[in-house]
A and B are shown apart, each in its own frame.
Chain A
């Protein structure tokens, strides 16, 4: 029995050594652990509310190489301010994500995405949202909703959208 235990230990050590000798690689998602009380469909009540608010928010679209709020998009900004100021949403923070079309793969594109998110944040604050509830982040060209190569598609990618954070 003692011998068996010793053998098992030796095998375990070999395997571990084998792992540590593998090529170094960082997996940035490994530490992401989420836990909450799940319902039958796998979502908690909180998660359902967040998903509903995100689904009801309206994307804000931008002109080529611009970060000002277009006249035809102001109503979307106002509707989002009303949604996020509603009683059920007031407990949450809102993250505005700025996005760009595929042209230009550089820091400028990420900065352009951030300016778009900031324009939307300013629009929300102007409609009564507390600035501290709103954060901004840029995803540059990394998060397209459409991958076709035409104007309609690029129009859809130049946008700000919203994440509701508990």
Chain B
């Protein structure tokens, strides 16, 4: 009886832990399946492209945190044989085999999963691409499908595009569209200071950004389909598009029409501007929450930067974070808020910024990073994955935190310093 009760308590604990991302699961009981990747492409295809593609698949499988990955680059025929279909010496459970072919700018990939215990193909698919430079997205798509095949929690976020701004010199920055590993990069806005890009819609066909090219800082909308840009709104002092409503119609702006930063909501259809916060200090970084009825934002109204919330039509302000003395950047998704916190308020202290995760439903605080400068956290569309900026001495990287697996990955930017990211 006591044993039964104990098992029940443990069972309930595991269930509640699984439901709260702020609680770190230290010990995993499940054994993850081991997977190997085999390249079955014809020898006429560029060896560099084949190897790079295999490495992308291996990297994605690792970041999914749902496999143990054999990291060796293996070759095979597409049909395989008694050795290739089992890989007995490598003790794998599953094989992902691909056959890549390229014709000018077109690329096709045949991919199949093989059960290495039985040597039989469990699923096979073909993929096509008309711009070979975008092949990292194809690799991500294949791994998303492989992951779905084993019934693991979705990693569809890998298919999302990232848009980021990077400083190239004083008062100069560029806006780049990339995949989450930075393997694909395309500069879309250059010349002068262009900052704070923010996707305009779920489709990721357009983004807003701030340009300093005119007399006043101005938000433009850039359309990726035709490369056009449209002037949206300007403000003296500063203007940033911090968030876009779910229906894409309303923007949360930080702007300072009277030299004073506050958060405003701008309706793109009626052109109506509504002032949401009203404080003589700093209010920035608005994020829609609760079905776009409330916002979380960063303010120095207690004498230091911290995270607060209030209704769109309600001026009552609620303090959301009771930890840290300099919480200067936040992002929200459902009931979760992730923020970066400077660990020492003194300029002589360590320049350490760590990321923390809280739930609005519980009192837990989970520390996500341990050292260095970890800034600008942004949720993926699922609450299990957070992207952030990691600054080193003279280099930047995109960081990915996988919450359930408690793992962090970094993808280094070769040139420039990351200013902001969205995905």
**Interface pair A26/B222, CB less than 8 Å apart:** yes
For residue B48, CB closer than 8 A to chain A, the reply is no
Which listed segment binds B: A3-11, A38-46, A80-88, A99-107? A99-107
List residues 135-149 of chain A with CB under 8 A from any CB of chain B: 135-140, 142-145, 149
With a cutoff of 8 Å between Cβ atoms, the chain A residues found around residue B260 in the complex are 118
**Interface pair A28/B191, CB less than 8 Å apart:** yes
Q: Which of A26, A103, A108, A112 contacts B188 (CB 8 A)?
A: A26
**Interface pair B192/A139, CB less than 8 Å apart:** no
Q: Which of B171, B240, B256, B353 contacts A143 (CB 8 A)?
A: B171
List residues 13-33 of chain B with CB under 8 A from any CB of chain A: none
**Interface pair A65/B347, CB less than 8 Å apart:** yes
For residue B389, CB closer than 8 A to chain A, the reply is yes
Contacts A28-B189, A28-B194, A114-B259 known; A108 to B329 CB distance under 8 Å?
yes
**Interface pair A151/B376, CB less than 8 Å apart:** no
**Interface pair B227/A26, CB less than 8 Å apart:** yes
- Closest chain-A Cβ to B358's Cβ sits at a distance in Å of 18
**Interface pair A30/B237, CB less than 8 Å apart:** no
What mask results when residues 382 to 402 of chain B are scored 1 for a CB within 8 Å of chain A, else 0? 000000010101000000000
Contacts A25-B187, A64-B347, A137-B217 known; A106 to B420 CB distance under 8 Å?
yes
**Interface pair A151/B348, CB less than 8 Å apart:** yes
For residue B181, CB closer than 8 A to chain A, the reply is no
For residue A29, CB closer than 8 A to chain B, the reply is yes
Closest chain A residue to B172 by CB distance? A142
With a cutoff of 8 Å between Cβ atoms, the chain B residues found around residue A26 in the complex are 188-191, 222, 227, 229
For residue A94, CB closer than 8 A to chain B, the reply is no
Closest chain B residue to A158 by CB distance? B347
**Interface pair A105/B237, CB less than 8 Å apart:** no
What mask results when residues 55 to 67 of chain B are scored 1 for a CB within 8 Å of chain A, else 0? 0000000000000
Interface positions of A (Cβ within 8 A of B): 23-32, 64-65, 103-115, 117-118, 121, 135-140, 142-145, 149, 151, 154
Closest 5 CB pairs of A and B: A24-B227, A29-B191, A64-B347, A107-B284, A28-B191
Given contacts A30-B191, A142-B193, 7 further A-B contacts (CB under 8 A): A26-B190, A105-B391, A105-B420, A111-B254, A113-B238, A115-B261, A137-B216
